[in-house]
């Protein structure tokens, strides 16, 4: 297949970029009073406003043509159909089947995966109901008050983000904690005030071999057993989520307390599987299913909507426009919602692990930019930190703003202040402030003539900074499902254009491998000489200090 950069649409976009680079969005808005209406899409109550982008009808036409030339529609069909598009691991990619509320059969190697998915969903329902109704009791007969989810990466970030996002749907008497870092401080600080009799651990690991998770799980088991008589108690306090029954059993967890998932669920796409068990426990299975419903709605939209009105397609193509034609290296995720505090962390993994690749699906080295650096923070905090660089720095940073029209709380004034900041920021980034406008303000403030030019330059904002806005009624489980799935498919669109495998993670595997070798070298007191001088030096200095 031809490289995306060799395609006619790519060449056209390169020439078109010269034209657009000279135009200011301020003028595009003045020239077209219908710009917002034309460049925004509704998906039920969610509004996706992409009008504050450096685009014209021509840009969109060329971007859609690029999508057609890379065969995006066929690639979407192949993913939903269960083709083994994760070619390096020879796996299908079917997180969409996990939330397939239509229950339409989905075949992998000729076998429908839906009955298995429904069976695990039922197991999750029974378990989460039992914990929440106090039917499930600890070894001394007390109900569970604290659930500690032990996992890392894809087995941690998704559920952690969702549980935080849905805090208003949680019960104060049932706390869900997350431990991921192998740094003992994480586990120690989490369990230090917990009661063994009322604590339940979920050990979540696709492979059940990950160093961090297994180290934490073993220490958690030790902590638990230190105060308990008899190994049978473990069955009431440890459950596992994994694809590896053998290892789960070897750890000492009864496989009847194991929740299965499958190799066609990538870690960073696994919150919809049993990896989402802490979500079901925290907010109830009905709310977990609403989360699935929201994601399924986006799946149907992504699968069937024409390119021109397809939100993830637009998100992906706009990202490509800045990444590959304007040289933007980053993207900011800016939810104006404290409950979405971990959204940027989750999307950072989803995007950077998926599209942080330098070879195409045929194993050929790429000569163009792929995935952006994703970062972000809940608004308004970022405004008092890194927004300065977005407004006046030398880098182009496309931003995504997200907010709910309604808050879960009713303290007067807060929500209006929050949303006014969101909307004002998108306007300021787009409009900027000319030197002339800055001068007029300074003169009105009585600034002396000799400082006028210098200050006016410092207070000039170039504007023309692109942003997307997502505005919806409230952050409920279904809406959250919608938002996450939109971003998952945006990542897919970009990976499809770049012709990379968005579903393996060799960089993560490397880390897992290296840590084992170095761990071996750390034991004993003898000097290490098997690495280059810096690694030897670090190991030997560590040995001298410990």
Q: Which positions ≥6 away from 279 have C-beta within 8 Å?
A: 159, 162, 163, 166, 271, 287, 288, 291
Give the residue with the Cβ less far from ligand G6Q, 16 or 149.
149
153 near ligand G6Q, judged by CB under 6 A? yes
Residues 53, 56, 199, 205: which binds ligand G6Q (CB under 6 A)? 205
Give the torsion through C-alpha atoms of 308, 310, 312, 315, to 10 deg: 30
180 near ligand G6Q, judged by CB under 6 A? no
**Residue among 384, 409, 410, 516 flagged as catalytic:** 384
CB of 206 to ligand G6Q, least distance (A): 4
Residues 59, 100, 155, 501: which binds ligand G6Q (CB under 6 A)? 155
Residues 66, 505, 521, 539: which binds ligand G6Q (CB under 6 A)? 505
**Catalytic-residue membership of 24:** no
Give the residue with the Cβ less far from ligand G6Q, 157 or 313.
157
CB of 523 to ligand G6Q, least distance (A): 24
Q: What is the DSSP secondary-structure string of 222-271?
A: HHHHTT-SSGGGHHHHEEEEES-HHHHHHHT--GGGEEE--TTS-GGG-T
372 near ligand G6Q, judged by CB under 6 A? no
Give the residue with the Cβ less far from ligand G6Q, 353 or 521.
353
Pairwise CA distance, residues 347 & 252, whole Å: 34
Residues 207, 338, 392, 421: which binds ligand G6Q (CB under 6 A)? 207
Only one residue has tokens 């006028």, namely 452
Give the residue with the Cβ less far from ligand G6Q, 199 or 205.
205
Residues 82, 154, 371, 376: which binds ligand G6Q (CB under 6 A)? 154
CB of 355 to ligand G6Q, least distance (A): 12
Stretch that binds ligand G6Q, among 114-122, 201-209, 381-389, 438-446 (CB under 6 A): 201-209
Question: What distances in angstroms separate CA 369 from CA 4, 12, 72, 534, one per listed residue?
Answer: 11, 18, 19, 31
CA-based R_g, the chain, Å = 26
Stretch that binds ligand G6Q, among 14-22, 183-191, 206-214, 277-285 (CB under 6 A): 206-214
210 near ligand G6Q, judged by CB under 6 A? yes
**Residue among 197, 212, 289, 353 flagged as catalytic:** 353
Q: Which positions ≥6 away from 529 have C-beta within 8 Å?
A: 536
Residues 54, 95, 268, 415: which binds ligand G6Q (CB under 6 A)? 268
Phi, psi of 200 (to 5 degrees): -125, 135
Segment 298 to 357, residues that bind ligand G6Q, using CB under 6 A: 353
Give the residue with the Cβ less far from ligand G6Q, 205 or 324.
205
**Catalytic-residue membership of 384:** yes
**Catalytic-residue membership of 212:** no
Residues 53, 128, 213, 502: which binds ligand G6Q (CB under 6 A)? 213
Phi, psi of 254 (to 5 degrees): -60, 130
Pairwise CA distance, residues 511 & 517, whole Å: 10
Q: What is the DSSP secondary-structure string of 189-212?
A: HHHTT--GGGEEEEEE-SSS--HH
Closest by CA to 209, choosing from 183, 238, 240, is: 240
CB of 94 to ligand G6Q, least distance (A): 14
CB of 237 to ligand G6Q, least distance (A): 20
Question: What distances in angstroms separate CA 96 from CA 72, 123, 150, 189, 272, one per listed residue?
Answer: 17, 19, 25, 36, 9
Pairwise CA distance, residues 35 & 301, whole Å: 23
150 near ligand G6Q, judged by CB under 6 A? no
Is the separation of the CB atoms in 284 and 168 below 8 Å?
no
Which chain residues interact with ligand G6Q by CB under 6 A? 152-155, 205-207, 210, 213, 266-268, 353, 505, 508
Active site residues: 353, 384, 512
């Amino acid at each position: 297949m031809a490289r995306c950069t060799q395609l006619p649409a790519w060449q056209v976009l390169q020439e078109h970029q010269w034209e657009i680079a000279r135009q200011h969005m301020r003028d595009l808005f003045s020239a077209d009073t219908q710009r917002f209406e034309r460049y925004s899409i509704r998906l039920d109550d969610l509004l996706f406003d992409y009008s504050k982008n450096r685009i014209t009808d021509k840009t969109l036409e060329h971007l859609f043509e690029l999508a057609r030339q890379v065969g995006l529609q066929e690639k979407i069909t192949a993913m939903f159909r269960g083709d083994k598009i994760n070619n390096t691991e020879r796996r299908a990619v079917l997180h969409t089947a996990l939330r397939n509320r239509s229950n339409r059969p989905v075949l992998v190697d000729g076998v429908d995966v839906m009955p298995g998915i429904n069976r695990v969903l039922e197991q999750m329902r029974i378990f989460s109901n039992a914990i929440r109704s106090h039917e499930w009791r600890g070894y001394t007969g007390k109900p569970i008050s604290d659930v500690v989810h032990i996992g890392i990466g894809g087995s941690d970030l998704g559920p952690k983000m969702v549980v935080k996002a849905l805090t208003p749907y949680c019960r104060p008497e049932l706390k869900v904690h997350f431990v991921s870092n192998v740094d003992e401080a994480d586990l120690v600080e989490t369990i230090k005030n917990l009661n063994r009799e009322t604590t339940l651990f979920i050990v979540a690991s696709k492979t059940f071999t990950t160093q961090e998770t297994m180290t934490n799980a073993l220490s958690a088991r030790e902590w638990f057993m230190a105060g308990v008589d008899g190994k049978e108690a473990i069955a009431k306090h440890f459950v596992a989520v994994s694809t590896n029954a053998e290892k789960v059993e070897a750890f000492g967890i009864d496989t009847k307390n194991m929740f299965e998932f499958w190799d066609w669920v990538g870690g960073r796409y696994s919150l919809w599987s049993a990896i989402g068990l802490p979500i079901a426990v925290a907010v109830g299975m009905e709310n977990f299913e609403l989360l699935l419903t929201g994601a399924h709605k986006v799946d149907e939209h992504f699968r069937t909507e024409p390119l021109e009105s397809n939100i993830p397609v637009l998100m992906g193509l706009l990202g490509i426009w800045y990444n590959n034609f304007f040289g933007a290296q980053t993207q900011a995720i800016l939810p104006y919602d404290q409950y979405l505090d971990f959204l940027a962390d989750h999307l950072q993994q989803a995007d950077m692990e998926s599209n942080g690749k330098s070879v195409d699906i045929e194993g050929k080295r790429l000569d163009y930019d792929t995935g952006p650096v994703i970062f972000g923070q809940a608004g308004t905090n970022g405004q008092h930190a890194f927004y300065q660089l977005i407004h006046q720095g030398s880098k182009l940073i496309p931003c995504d703003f997200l907010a709910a029209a309604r808050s879960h709380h009713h303290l007067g004034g807060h929500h209006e202040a929050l949303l006014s900041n969101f909307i004002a920021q998108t306007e300021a980034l787009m409009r900027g402030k000319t030197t002339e406008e800055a001068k007029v303000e300074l003169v009105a403030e009585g600034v002396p003539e000799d400082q006028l030019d210098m200050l006016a330059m410092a207070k000039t904002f170039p504007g023309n900074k692109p942003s997307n806005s997502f505005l919806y009624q409230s952050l409920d489980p279904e809406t959250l499902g919608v938002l996450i799935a939109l971003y998952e498919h945006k990542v897919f669109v970009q990976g499809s254009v770049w012709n990379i495998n968005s579903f393996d993670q060799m960089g993560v595997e490397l880390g897992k491998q290296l840590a084992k070798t170095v761990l071996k070298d750390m034991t004993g007191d003898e000097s290490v000489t098997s690495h280059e001088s810096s690694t030897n030096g670090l190991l030997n200095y560590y040995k001298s200090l410990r």
